[in-house]
Structure 1
Amino acid sequence: MHTLWLLVILCSVIFSVSALSGERVVEHLDLKTGAKWLGRKSSRFGSVNEMRMMLGARLNTPDVKKQYPTVDRRLKNGKPLPDEFDSRKQWPNCKSIGMIRDQSSCGSCWAIAAASTMSDHYCIQTGKSVLLSETDLLSCCKTCGYGCEGGRDIQCWDYWNKTGLVTGSGQDCEGCRCYPFMKCRHHGRKGGYPDCPEESYSTPECEHKCRDGYPKKFADDKIFGNAGYYVAENEKAIMSEIMLNGPVKASFAVFKDFIDYDSGVYFHSHGNLLGRHAVRIIGWGHDRDVPYWVIANSWNEKWGENGTFRMLRGSNECEIEENVVSNSR
């Protein structure tokens, strides 16, 4: 009884119905922090299993994590970090930072988040825009995981460092290996794309050749990068890392209420754990006095806030600040 009363005190949920769409709109308000987000009840995810198959982030064990460095780049000059920061504005020539991918019905979030972050860093570090192939990583990195059934985080950087990645990102790419699965409607606004298939796609075959008509050979298209590291599990360390080196890859625990996210600063309100999802943190800000992360998702630009969402910052909401990966020159 005491637990139920505590939940009522800490979280307010308000239901309404949109006059335009007939959808049920749910406002979630954290009475402690002031965070607020809107959810829209939708039939997009016909079952919890449909949602689960898209949550492909897998955690390394503590013993494996210890094998990799943990870096804390908190600014040492005593200057405070800015109240807001947006990598898209900081590095406007690196168009990859603002791109929103679509994983379709495949648990490839881990590969997309990694390849996208690597593309961002390569541009920031070299001044050369490139879109690295999430398909190359998804299908060929056997130490990373299980393709469309999920994968781990920092092993992706091992693969990039030792084996390299070819170019090509998204369904209509101009690079060597494009993403093979069609864009689809991930719960978001109606129109634009067909509904996502109910069953997961199979992992694409690992092919050491570029698409027909591409002018380079596979080996000649490879791009290599530096090995990765974990970022210290600290809000200021993550903010400093993003300011210095660009977006970071992260993963978080996904609960049932996230299915309905539409806009606002997300915090876990209710529902059981479904799995983990990999994303890119590209910046931060405040909504009134509520601190948040700006996060790029991989459910296309029609989902959430133009393909992004905001999450409560500084309290390790849904473990978002625990498994952050980056790299530098």
Structure 2
Amino acid sequence: MFRILLFGPVSGPLSPPPPPPSRANIPSTDPGNPAPPAPVPSRANIPSTDPGTPLPPPHRKFAILATLVAAASAHGMRGSDDQFSHQVAFKQFMNKHGKVYQTQEEHNTRFETFKKNVREARTLNTALKAKGKDEIHGVTKFFDLERDEFEQMYLGGYYTKDDFPVLETASFETKVDATSGTYNLSDDGLLTTVKDQASCGSCWAFSATETLESAWAKAGNDLVELSPQQIVSCDVGNGDYGCSGGMPSTAFEYVFTAGGLASEADYPYTSTTGVTGDCTSPLPEFTMHAGRTAAWAYAQDACMPGSTECTEDIDAIATALKESGGISIAIDASSFFSYTGGVMTADSCSSNPSSLDHAIQIVGYDADADTPYWIVRNSWAETWGEDGFVFMEMGTNTCGLANIAAIVTSL
């Protein structure tokens, strides 16, 4: 028997962080042809690929290395494979992400991998543009990795129908009409900062922790960053395996049984190199407390392994988001390797339950956008995607986001 395994600092009250990024003012794939202003996404401020051109302020995520691919596409193929331009981009990539290679041979190998990934991203962007898609791919911190290395280090999952948690779907008195309007958790002061799981397959613990943070604050308590490390190291014998994967739902069950969760400040994250670590004994005093009635449920009917057609109920998900505060989801994240911005659509990934390999959190939506989307928080740091977030098309079960969408219903 086997089951889905999803890879997935500060104590005291937190001031709400800046809200998730909006789709307005996202840089264009064509530096010389800015799009109309919002609500149509604007791409007017893309940095130049000329290394001598000053970059815009650092909060703009599309820096030179992130836009090499888009700029090359915008200017056609001329000069895009120039060795010097790739060397400049690779050096900036290394500096930005702190990459250090032990030998010249390793450096050369990683450089060749980097160039290959740039070419593949350019090809993907061309295909997406031809389809009229908003999604953009470019240089990410993974671009010195082969795809199988990326999947081994950051993704991974397996499952069985026999061992899949089966619960009732959450029920609420009122239901949100998600065909229009916008919302994100920061509107209600329920959103903490973007985290970084690093080289540990702990996304399941981060997703669960973040949903617990939001649910705890939603219940009238202070917004506090909680400890994913407690879950990673202490949730044993529950079918979860630390840096080797787990599920947000069983992480919830561990926290409910343990009686709560310590803060990030009191039990900081230490599994950055992929070592699960032993559970601290005794545990620090809990900041978040779970009572006997603590429970979780699915935001909509779950699509279990073995199912071939999985659909998305946007009203149910939007209602659960507003009523409970944050939704832990599992998705097929294979296309996250090179995602740098825009709205990811259903044809970029699989919605089949057998393809789920990463856990993240829905934190908002924009149903008024040209392509309505969910705002989803990842745990790969703010340098990835849209300042650490990804926009995923609403209504199409993009990447399987609705298959096992789990919420905390009481604490």
Q: Distance in 1 between matches of 2:269 and 2:165?
A: 29
Query: Is the helix fraction higher in 1 or 2?
Result: 2
Residues 60 and 117 of structure 1, relative CA distance in 2, 3 Å threshold:
farther
The answer to whether the 8 Å contact 2:202/2:243 transfers is yes
Amino acid paired to 1:157: F
Runs of 4+ in 1 over 4 A off after TM superposition: 14-18, 56-60, 78-82, 219-222, 268-275
Cα deviation for residue 168 of structure 1 reads 2.8
C-alpha RMSD over aligned residues: 3.1
1:277 to 342, 358, 371: 358
Amino acid paired to 2:145: G
SS of 1:24's equivalent in the other structure is: helix
Pair 1:161-2:227 in alignment: no
Cα deviation for residue 119 of structure 1 reads 1.1
Q: Distance in 2 between matches of 1:313 and 1:71?
A: 20
SS of 1:295's equivalent in the other structure is: strand
Q: Counterparts of 1:129-208 in structure 2 under 5 Å?
A: 129-142=223-236, 143-169=238-264, 174=265, 176-182=266-272, 201-208=274-281
Cα deviation for residue 269 of structure 1 reads 5.0
Residues 19 and 325 of structure 1, relative CA distance in 2, 3 Å threshold:
same
Q: Distance in 2 between matches of 1:61 and 1:30?
A: 38
Pair 1:48-2:127 in alignment: no
Cα deviation for residue 205 of structure 1 reads 1.1
Q: Counterparts of 1:1-329 in structure 2 under 5 Å?
A: 19-20=49-50, 21=64, 23-25=68-70, 26=122, 27=125, 29=128, 35-42=133-140, 44-52=143-151, 53-55=153-155, 59=159, 61=161, 64-66=164-166, 68-73=167-172, 75-76=174-175, 82-89=180-187, 91-92=188-189, 94=190, 97-142=191-236, 143-169=238-264, 174=265, 176-182=266-272, 201-209=274-282, 218=284, 223-224=289-290, 226-233=294-301, 234-255=313-334, 257-267=335-345, 269=347, 276-286=357-367, 288-329=369-410
Query: Is the strand fraction higher in 1 or 2?
Result: 1
Amino acid paired to 2:383: K
TM-score (norm 1): 0.74
Unaligned runs of 5+ in 2: 1-28, 32-46, 51-63, 71-121, 302-312
Q: Distance in 2 between matches of 1:45 and 1:165?
A: 39
The answer to whether the 8 Å contact 2:332/2:349 transfers is no
Q: Distance in 2 between matches of 1:315 and 1:231?
A: 16
Residues 270 and 84 of structure 1, relative CA distance in 2, 3 Å threshold:
closer
The answer to whether the 8 Å contact 2:243/2:271 transfers is no
Cα deviation for residue 88 of structure 1 reads 0.6
SS of 2:268's equivalent in the other structure is: coil
Q: Distance in 2 between matches of 1:219 and 1:289?
A: 47
Cα deviation for residue 177 of structure 1 reads 0.8
Q: 1:268-312 CA deviation, whole Å, 9 max, x = no partner? A: 556899851100100100474211100011011121111111011
Residues 261 and 245 of structure 1, relative CA distance in 2, 3 Å threshold:
same
How many residues of Structure 1 are paired with residues of Structure 2 in the alignment?
Answer: 279
Residues 113 and 242 of structure 1, relative CA distance in 2, 3 Å threshold:
same
Residues 137 and 47 of structure 1, relative CA distance in 2, 3 Å threshold:
same
Q: Distance in 2 between matches of 1:264 and 1:110?
A: 24
Q: Choose 1 or 2 for highest CA Rg.
A: 2
Q: Distance in 2 between matches of 1:48 and 1:36?
A: 23
Q: Distance in 2 between matches of 1:322 and 1:201?
A: 27
Amino acid paired to 2:289: I
TM-score (norm 2): 0.60
Residues 104 and 38 of structure 1, relative CA distance in 2, 3 Å threshold:
same
Unaligned runs of 5+ in 1: 1-13, 183-199, 211-217
Q: 1:26-53 CA deviation, whole Å, 9 max, x = no partner? A: 4363877x54111104563512233222
The share of aligned pairs that are identical, in percent, is 24
* Residue of structure 2 equivalent to 1:197: none
Q: Distance in 1 between matches of 2:322 and 2:349?
A: 34
Q: Which deviates more, 153-162 or 268-277?
A: 268-277
Residues 207 and 168 of structure 1, relative CA distance in 2, 3 Å threshold:
same
Q: Distance in 1 between matches of 2:289 and 2:226?
A: 8
Q: Distance in 2 between matches of 1:57 and 1:165?
A: 27
Q: Distance in 2 between matches of 1:74 and 1:30?
A: 42
The answer to whether the 8 Å contact 2:262/2:286 transfers is no
The answer to whether the 8 Å contact 1:56/1:108 transfers is no
